[in-house]
Structure 1
Amino acid sequence: MMIKKFLYSQKVAPYVFVLPFIAVFAIFWAYPLASSVEMSFQHTMLGQEAEWIGFDNYTKLMSDGVFLKAVTNSVVYMVLTLVILIPLPMLFAVLINNKFMWGREFFKSTFFFPALTSVVVAGTIFRLMFGEMEGSLINSFLGLFGIEPVKFLKGQVTGFVALLALASWRWIGVNMLYFLSGLKSIPDEYYEAASIDGASSFQKFTMITMPLLKSTTVYVVTISIYAGLAMFIESMMLWNGNNSPKNIGLTIVGYLYRQGIEKNDLGYAAAVGIVLLLIAMIINITQLIFTGTFKKED
């Protein structure tokens, strides 16, 4: 009876409801993060006793050319995906949301379908599409214009073309649905009033749609920054492994996998993971401050 009275107390009930979240957060995020931070200051090999080495792993990282290459690849990939996966989905969402648009549900399903496809399957298909043989899909298309076969997956620029094509195919539809959800919250009266004042479609988009989609845009940018920096499986499947030519497809997570799983250096891999977390936090906090998300309302 006392336990039931305690649980139904107005002071205790809120804590009971949030307890599952706190437990999951502590077990699956806070504890692993704390363990990773501790491990990053150790020399830890599977099956061996951990040895405390201070900042040696981080000092080694700063002079590790392969790691710096992975960071560069991840940051460039993130920036390029932002350039593609923010404006294009927003534009498609505006077009589909237009009341004169026919086949809305068909286009929504068509754009979203790639996200349901296994990244392993998608990566394998794109590897075949961008193959270096003359009979591969992309090279067959280029051959129609008299262009010689291109070894896409052996060059830095062409390799990123393949990566970005895969990312665009998979995620444009998802981001488009986010923007469609944001568009639904904009009252039609705003557009009707703008039409009465003689505003053009472009003016409506820049003066009404974009400002009122700010919160949705900030959210999509935030998750896209993390997704870009954390990309791994796409690269691994596209190059059929974690060893692309001259590391042109190596990412930060790929380097973490190489050190922690392939080379069994768990301490060094933990340091890579902590640096990745810091990079993602710094970039995201910067863009949140820049967009005024942390600004107090008047």
Structure 2
Amino acid sequence: MAAPMKTDAVAASTPTTPSTPMRTNPVRRLLYSRGIAPYVFVLPFVLSFLIFFAYPVFSTVVMSFQEVLPGQTRFIGWDNYRHLWNDSFFTALRNNTRYTFWTLLILIPLPLVLAVFLNSKAMRWSGFFRSALFIPSLTSVVVAGTIFRLVFGQTDVAVMNMLRHAFGFETINWLAKSSTGMLVLVVLATWRYAGVNLIYFLSGLQSIPSDLYESAEIDGANKWNKFWRITVPLLKPVTIYVVTISIYGGYAMFTESFMLWSGNHSPNDIGLTMLGYIYREGIEKNELGFGSAIGLALLAFLLAVNVVQLKFFGLFKKEED
């Protein structure tokens, strides 16, 4: 006869050991720590800022006090900054200032007015016109500059000269004079960047409550009063942003001029820009120290101009209680 099973008795007599907590990876525990995790998420931005912005700026400042030659560098003090006071520097600065002035004069009010029309409920095909005005900004600057160089060419069969012939005017070389060359640059900028500023103003208009316009209309305000008393003041933050990036874009313009004149050497430097001057001195003449000094001078000038315009717009004023 088989012996009785003692499984239950054995199981009952077997001592039970308390369960031990599962060991976690120390690296995993460190990453999931509430004190460390925020710094881990911010670290990529900090590294990108230090590597791609802070270090190049620091190197540029040091290089501006040096004479940089192939295989050797030597400190020369303030000599690079003393060489800034020359005709080419002021010519480039004057060209960029004229370009910035005319682009601000056109690319602020024109997109604003167009945005008001396209934001109106009575406007038909508004989506089509928004797309049509924005598409030029997607075009490569190189392609746009090449096309405009052909349109404003010096030959009789150039598009703009043929248009002049239709009105009884003679052929001119658009890119040989300072006035007409600047006109071509401004037309190119208007064609390409009006749609971008239009999107900015449209986004600002859509954030304005319609109740304000309805209340003003009940009080007897006409369209001009609603535009001047409601639209323009409430679009002030967007306008400040557009003006700021337009000033930067105006003084950072280079590719448009380079493509229109097929290089960095225009007649009497009528198309010379600040970045073109940096390229000429730093790359073409291999004077990286002098080119760094030009870049830092441009940076200081841009900071001063933007501080003045922000002060003019009242951005630095404290809000009154």
Shared fold per TM-score greater than 0.5:
yes
1:203 to 218, 225, 248: 225
3-state SS, counterpart of residue 169 of structure 2: coil
Distance in 2 of aligned mates of 1:161 and 1:185: 35
Query: In the TM superposition, what is the alpha-carbon distance from 1:296 to its structure 2 partner?
Result: 2.6
Residue of structure 1 in register with 2:56 after alignment: 32
| Equivalent residue letter for 1:146 | G
| Worse overlay, 14-23 or 255-264 | 14-23
Shift of 1:48: 2.9
Corresponding residue of 2:84: 61
Q: CA deviation at 1:130?
A: 0.7
Supply the AA of the counterpart residue of 1:170: R
Pair 1:297–1:16, CA change in 2 (3 A): farther
Percent sequence identity is: 53
State the structure with more CA Rg: 2
**Which residue in 2 is equivalent to 1:44?**
68
Q: 2:106 aligns with which of 84, 100, 103?
A: 84
- Tell me what 1:7 maps to: 31
What is the alpha-carbon distance in structure 2 between the residues aligned to residue 294 and residue 27 of structure 1? 31
- Show the counterpart of 2:308: 286
Match of 1:103 among 118, 125, 132: 125
Shift in Å at residue 294 of structure 1? 2.4
Residues in 1 aligned to 2:257 and 2:77: alpha-carbon distance in whole angstroms? 32
Amino acid at match of 2:308: T
Alignment partner of 2:309: what SS?
A: helix
Corresponding residue SS for 2:84: helix
1: CA distance, partners of 2:28 / 2:216: 58
Cα distance between partner residues in 1 of 2:32 and 2:110: 50
Equivalent residue for 1:134, pick from 150, 156, 171: 156
Return the alpha-carbon distance in structure 2 between the equivalents of residues 71 and 198 of structure 1.
49
Report the CA distance between 1:18 and its aligned residue: 1.9
User: Structure 2 stretches of 5 or more lacking a match?
Assistant: 1-24
5 Å-filtered alignment, 1:85-234, equals 85-234=107-256
Deviation of 1:4 after TM superposition, in Å, equals 3.1
- The aligned residue for residue 20 of structure 1 is 44
Distance 1:8 1:295, change over 3 A: farther
Structure 1 CA distance for aligned equivalents of residues 307 and 46 of structure 2: 23
The structure showing larger relative contact order (alpha-carbon pairs under 8 Å, at least 6 residues apart) is 1
How many residue pairs end up in the alignment? 296
5+ residue gaps, structure 1, are none
2:206 & 2:119 partners in 1: Cα distance?
8
Q: Distance in 2 between matches of 1:202 and 1:10?
A: 55
Q: CA RMSD in A?
A: 1.1
CA distance in 2, matches of 1:21, 1:103: 42
* Aligned partner letter, 2:52: F
Matched residues in 2 for 1:292 and 1:38: separation?
A: 35
1:195-248 CA-partner distances (Å, limit 9, x unpaired): 111111111111000000000000000100000000000000001110000000
